[in-house]
Amino acid sequence: MSGSPKRLSIQEMDLLCRRQEAEGAPMAAYDGPLQRHVADGDRRLLHLEFDDSAAALRLWNFLLTEEDRLHQARAAGTKIVGTMKDLGTVPVMAYSLPDVIAFYPDGAWWTPCVMELSAGLLGLAQSLGVGEAFCPVRAMLGAFVNRAHFPIPDLLTCSVGATCDDFSAIAQRLESLGFPILWWEMPHRRRPDPGEPAVVLPGGFTAPESQVALVRSELERVGAALQTLAGARLGDGELAAGIREANRVRSLLADLRRLAYTAEPCPMPALEMLIAEMLAIHFCSDRAESVAVLNGLLDEIKRRTDDGQGVLPKGAARVFWVNPVADLRAMNLLEDCGGRLCGTEFLFSHALDPIPEDLPPMEALARMALADPMVGPSADRAGRIVRDARVFGAEAVVVSRIPGASHCALEGAVIAEIVRTELDLPVVELEVPPVVDPMLPTLRTRLEAIAETVLKRRNV
């Protein structure tokens, strides 16, 4: 590639793909033109812009072939675990067993966006009594019922207790439709009482030892079910090896995030970083390949930073983004408005932190699970956002609300107040629906305003 990289249309990405093929460049078996996914219904790709690299092409193809991968796994006799809600814990256990893979049916959250509402999943959920009062995760219900997306898992697990009302209600509705679920309890993480035995969790929160012990016993119950499914032992050795592999992914992501969110000019677009971070939670159904994909991205970012190249002009406003966006296009929009990503909290920061390797493995996993930012007080979550925004040098914070999400109504205000008080940064809250097009003018105005505010503050 010559010249500075930029964001490409899908047509330009497919030219890049054809060049790769013509040059005989090494490509993964699932690589190929992105437009074939549009033919399968992924119409949102037509309205996105992508990073100008073979590494990004591979990332997108890896993401967009996940359902094929799951169906191939089913055909090959691999056991499939549908892990719901914990975002990053049970998959570490599942991938520690032979011939078992795990994925989050919750990922159907993005199907209304990627297929531009053409799959009818939200309507199907509505017909089952789960309407617009719920967040887009209700699409998962439709995907289970119409069986047109992922294969029905051999085992379904779901954390319950400190779970948002949306997910709790939808998972119960799922079970009532005849999909048995192994529920496991996640207590609401509380601050230890004075003198109460406590531990510091990965990522820095603290929790009473008694809560860690409860989560550990629950995970042991999940582990027993996984062993039965796999017909294989999940002992400390196997789990420790699984944790080391998960940490490889987390360590690659830590390097990627550090460079992508701090290098000037910005070496990787926000959209690709969002997708890359998502690989942490269940490895996009292929743990080894997710390592290869992330290595490719990291090489690309290192090369660009060494060459002083970026995908955006120097000086873009440095924005820390809170919550995943229901429409991926919002990530492009941030950059169109003069911003760049400079740190994120996409609801799963516990899936990015290294899992301790110097503890009994189930204890380590229990501590990591309890570090989930969504199972404790919003003030804890805000504290983590403040700390990370400081580390990455953010100049503004965007809290993107998720339509219908039960945790969003007040949480954004709590986070905004703490960020303003502790960091004196401008904060904007905005809502991103699964397809933002009708709201583009409003969103654009608000994102431009935050970018302009940042630039003005630099000059004061």
Determine contact, residues 96/72, Cβ cutoff 8 Å.
Answer: no
Considering only residues 155 through 214, tell me which ones interact with ligand SF4, judged by CB under 6 A.
164, 166-167
- Identify the three-state secondary structure at position 419: helix
Whether residue 265 is preceded by a cis peptide bond, meaning omega within 30 degrees of 0, is yes
Site for ligand SF4, residues 145 to 164, rule: CB under 6 A: 164
Q: Which two tokens stand for residue 241?
A: 């090896």
Instruction: State which of residues 63, 113, 130, 135 lies at the interface with ligand SF4 (CB under 6 A).
Output: 135
Enter the DSSP assignment of 201: P
| Residues contacting ligand SF4: total by CB under 6 A | 11
Among 84, 137, 319, 451, binds ligand SF4 (CB under 6 A): 137
Of 239 and 432, which CB lies nearer to ligand SF4 in the complex structure? 432
Q: Which stretch binds ligand SF4 (CB under 6 A): 9-17, 151-159, 300-308, 405-413?
A: 405-413
Residue 351 near residue 78, CB atoms below 8 Å: no
CB of 346 to ligand SF4, least distance (A): 10
- According to the binding rule CB under 6 A, does residue 328 interact with ligand SF4? no
Strand partners, 160: 185
Q: Does 239 bind ligand SF4 (CB under 6 A)?
A: no
Instruction: For residue 5, count other CB atoms closer than 10 A to its CB.
Output: 22
The answer to whether 440 and 333 are in contact (CB under 8 A) is yes
**Interaction between residue 141 and ligand SF4 (CB under 6 A):** no
> Can you tell me the distance from the alpha carbon of 9 to that of 50, in angstroms, rounded to the nearest whole number?
6
Query: How far is residue 442 from each of residues 271, 285, 325, 337, measured CA to CA in Å?
Result: 20, 37, 16, 12
DSSP string across 240-266: HHHHHHHHHHHHHHHHHHHHHHHSSS-
Work out whether 335 is an interface residue with ligand SF4 (CB under 6 A). no
Q: How far is the CB of 374 from ligand SF4 (least distance, A)?
A: 6
Which residue lies nearer to ligand SF4 by CB, 135 or 398? Answer: 135
By the rule CB under 6 A, 45 interacts with ligand SF4: no
> Positive or negative CA dihedral for 389, 390, 394, 396?
positive
Rounded distance, CA 13 to CA 33, Å?
7
Asked if 407 touches ligand SF4 (CB under 6 A), the answer is yes
For residues 89 and 96, which CB has a smaller minimum distance to ligand SF4 in the complex? 89
Among 374, 385, 396, 397, binds ligand SF4 (CB under 6 A): 374
> Rounded to whole angstroms, what are the CA distances from 250 to 108, 253, 268, 347, 451?
23, 5, 18, 15, 30
Distance CA 338, CA 319 (A): 10
Q: Select 53 or 157, whichever has its Cβ closest to ligand SF4.
A: 157
Nearer to ligand SF4, 130 or 342 (CB): 130
Give the bridge partners for 61, in sequence order. none
Q: How far is the CB of 356 from ligand SF4 (least distance, A)?
A: 25
Nearest approach, Cβ of 134 to ligand SF4 (angstroms)?
8
Tokens representing 77 are 């006799």
The torsion of the CA quartet 122, 124, 128, 130, rounded to 10 degrees, works out to 0
* Shortest Cβ 186–ligand SF4 spacing (Å): 12
d(CA 121, CA 392): 38
C-alpha distance from residue 403 to each of 131, 198, 406 (Å): 12, 36, 9
Taking CB under 6 A as the rule, does residue 430 contact ligand SF4? no
For ligand SF4, the binding residues in 385-404 under the rule CB under 6 A are 402
Shortest Cβ 169–ligand SF4 spacing (Å):
10
Min separation Cβ 402 and ligand SF4, Å = 5
Q: Which is nearer to ligand SF4, 149 or 340 (CB)?
A: 149
Q: Could you say whether residue 431 binds ligand SF4 (CB under 6 A)?
A: no
By beta-carbon proximity to ligand SF4, the closer residue of 135 and 385 is: 135
CB of 163 to ligand SF4, least distance (A): 7
Query: Does residue 406 interact with ligand SF4 by CB under 6 A?
Result: yes
CA–CA gap between residue 122 and residue 279 (Å, rounded)? 25
φ, ψ for residue 240, nearest 5 deg? -65, -40
Query: Whose Cβ is closer to ligand SF4: residue 211's or residue 323's?
Result: 323
Residue 347-366 contact track with ligand SF4, rule CB under 6 A, x = bound: x-------------------
DSSP class of 326: S
Q: Which is nearer to ligand SF4, 136 or 153 (CB)?
A: 136
Residues interacting with ligand SF4, by CB under 6 A? 135, 137, 164, 166-167, 347, 374, 402, 405-407
